[in-house]
Amino acid sequence: MTPDPAGPPAGPDPAAFHGPVHGTWEPGPAARWEDAFLAGNGRHGALVLGDPEDDPVIVTHHTLVRPNNPPADTRPPRLAAALPALQDALLAGDVTAAERFTDGRPLRWVRPFHPGFRTRVRRPPGGPALPVRRSVDFTTGVVTCLSGQRRSEVFVSRADDVLVQYVTEPGPAVEIDLDHRLPGVPPDLMTGRGVATARRETVLTLRARYPDSPLGYTGLALLLTDTGRTAVTASGVRVEGARRLLLLTRVRRHEGELDTAGETDELRALLGDDPDTDPDTDPDTDLAALHARLLARHTAPHGAAYRRVTLDLGADPAERALPGSALLGRPTAGPALLERLFAAGRYHLLSASGTRPPRLTGLWTGDWDTAWSGAHTTNANLNLQTSSAVAADLPEVTEALARLIRDQLPDWRDNAREIFGARGIVAPSHTDGDSGHTYHFSREYPLHLWTAGADWLLKPLLDHEEATGRRNPAVSAALAELALFYEDFLTRTRPDGRIAVVPSYSPENRPRGGSWGAVDATMDVAAARHALRAAADRAPAPDAGRLRALADRLPPYRVNEEGALAEWAAPGLGDRYDHRHLSHLYPVWPLDEINPYDTPELAKAAHRALELRGSENDSAHGHFHHGLVAARLRDPARTDDALGRILAGDHFHASLMSAHYPGRDVYNADAAHTLPTLIVEALVQSTPDRLVLLPAPPARCPHGRLTGVRTRFGARVDLDWSPGEYRAVLRPDRDAVVELIDPAGTVSRLVLRAGEERVVGSVGSLGP
């Protein structure tokens, strides 16, 4: 339906919203790139600002990282020969010894993620200012901008790996170009443009080369028009009289020259004959049919993935009809806002995951100066962002994480050998997505001492195996290598005969009475124990026994004088509570080692540690990490409080992408991608032999319906709940016997048969 050009584009009819809204909208273009609506396929990303006068679409790609260090500075430090002396010093009580355990280099940031360029479809100035309505449909990944008769649709194809922009009624004349001039672009970035026209087809290229580097990237756009005239301009082309435009865009990072002719042929191939379409269709002129075909190929995989899990909190239809910014302006709106943020979080996480899992900024940025290099940060951020992958049924995310691990294993082996003199693997705390070497560290952040990263990154892959009932040989091989590292590294003992983890680091904190590098950080102990036992479960009998024996010799967790689980198991190291990270609660979440059912006393100590923990700078990942631990410990008040602090802290942009700090400070995907995890964990938790229903339902979610949750014992769960009632429908794909813990904490035995639906619920529960 074409909107009336004389009046504002109509907003949604509140009466139409009988269920959750799977999208969002705004009554105007984005004034800042942070508010741009997002699309992506896990490789290419698009930020759509929706300004009909310019119609800029910022193009990103996971591979776009800027060279910033000499190759010699991106190797792990060669410190293995000095490791025994460091261990001796730390065990002898020299608490500052690790501060000298470096190779003297200054802090080196990993290569920063950056945008490529923006496509522009500009109208001549001087026309009437018309109202604008922009929207994004999460089910299709299509971003739409309406203004008068003009309609622009953008999506990033999951099937064809291309940005597709389809514009109808663009205006009497438009100028189209590729523009690299984005905030923070290096002034010495070398660029060149090319334009080639033939019939209704134009190919635009933008070549860019990084300063002092043979590396660069090239943007290519294939433009098709239905009618009218096309003329070359100084920066692109001018199109007059066209009623439809179709723009297919890609970006390629490369060394040396790129075969642009071959890349263009690949784009043309996407427009070829399809046996399911009319053979008389002319692909040069029937742009509507071409667009429909491209869209259908994309929406099949995207829509199927997005719709697997849904949340309905029974929100007010009038609130469901509001623009996203209006909902964010009233965080007490509660259900409508949470429904939309849950849907947006799944959409953005799916869209950011493909060749790589999401970065600190997901897959998007409009500025070359990305905070913390826009890296994959593995000591909390990436881990939180991907934590819903199994339960919220997004195996695409798990697969992206698996690719990152697989591609970086050679570098992880270098880290183990060069820093620790060990076999096996050690993951870095920061990676640009390409190099897995540990080279980002300093005295205050001795990230090269942290050994728990590989276990945390492998944990979702293990959960995925449990959910599917199938082991992956590549995961088993990585676990075996991780066990090799621990066998070589865990060779020192404490006075009580227990193994000492030394050096050890608790991201990104330091103990009272000690320095940043210490002994027996609780997280390092927990990760080593978990990895060794997981590897033992897959190893031949003699090896399994040796690995379990090593795990059993690790120190027990320590409860401090305040009754809290200590952040360092070694005695004499005090806790600093006001910190954004909760690394010492790793045994609670994401591990299941400490829980209220099997280890109630340790769970009590973990809860005390949670009570004492401050929020420091109110970073989003800190609040969500707090909420996730609270959910595992059956504390609904703290779970709800974590949600409330994020919502009241103005952490979300109008795009529904989030910020790292309150007041929308520093574009960052942690909150956006982690919110679905917290909602699911508050309502449904599972292990291979346990199902926990409604362990910590937030007060702002008194009733609702959550469908499609995947469990680690091979069943999917649909859950309905209201005060005092619940009903869960389990659909197992294999036989299982599990322990069921209901909302009251009552334990029962549940026998499941593959293919047989099972219903559990409270007396007088919802529905038949």
Query: pLDDT category, 198, cuts 50, 70, 90?
Result: confident
Q: Given this model, what pLDDT does residue 283 score?
A: 42
CB neighbour list of residue 248: distance below 8 Å, 6 or more residues apart: 162, 163, 164, 221, 222, 224, 267, 270
State phi, psi for 195 to the nearest 5 degrees: -140, 130
Mean pLDDT, the chain, whole residue set:
94
Q: For the ranges 274-288, 294-308, 549-563, which has the lowest average pLDDT?
A: 274-288
User: Looking at residues 280-306, what average pLDDT do you find?
Assistant: 85
CB neighbour list of residue 82: distance below 8 Å, 6 or more residues apart: 101
Q: Given this model, what pLDDT does residue 280 score?
A: 43
pLDDT at 305 over 80: yes
Q: How far apart are CA 523 and CA 589, in angstroms?
A: 11
Question: Could you tell me if 670 and 381 are in contact, meaning their C-beta atoms sit under 8 angstroms apart?
Answer: yes
Measure CA 105 to chain center.
31
pLDDT, tens digit (0-9, with 9 covering 90-100), for 487-505? 999 999 998 999 999 999 9
Q: Given this model, what pLDDT does residue 3 score?
A: 34
Cα pseudo-dihedral 286, 290, 295, 301, rounded to 10? 150
Write down the domain spans for the chain: 31-66+114-308
State phi, psi for 351 to the nearest 5 degrees: -70, -25
pLDDT, tens digit (0-9, with 9 covering 90-100), for 67-93? 998 887 899 999 999 999 999 999 999
Query: pLDDT category, 610, cuts 50, 70, 90?
Result: very high
pLDDT at 333 over 90: no
Query: pLDDT category, 6, cuts 50, 70, 90?
Result: very low
Query: pLDDT category, 12, cuts 50, 70, 90?
Result: low
Q: How far apart are CA 404 and CA 260, in angstroms?
A: 28
User: Looking at residues 363-374, what average pLDDT do you find?
Assistant: 98
Q: How far apart are CA 100 and CA 170, in angstroms?
A: 63
Find residue 741's DSSP bridge partners. Answer: 692, 747
pLDDT, tens digit (0-9, with 9 covering 90-100), for 235-245? 999 999 999 99
Match 């179709």 to its residue by tokens.
246
Share of the chain above pLDDT 90, in %: 90
Q: Given this model, what pLDDT does residue 17 score?
A: 54
CATH entry, 31-66+114-308, from 3.40.50.2030, 3.30.70.1520, 2.60.40.420, 2.70.98.50: 2.70.98.50
pLDDT, tens digit (0-9, with 9 covering 90-100), for 681-696? 999 999 999 999 999 9
CB burial of residue 456 (10 Å; 0-12, 13-18, 19+) = buried
User: Looking at residues 391-413, what average pLDDT do you find?
Assistant: 98
| Nearest Cα to Cα of residue 297 among 119, 145, 156, 143 | 156
Q: For the ranges 66-75, 246-255, 390-399, which has the lowest average pLDDT?
A: 66-75
Measure CA 531 to chain center.
23
User: Looking at residues 102-111, what average pLDDT do you find?
Assistant: 94
Q: How far apart are CA 134 and CA 132, in angstroms?
A: 7
| pLDDT top residue among 756 and 15 | 756
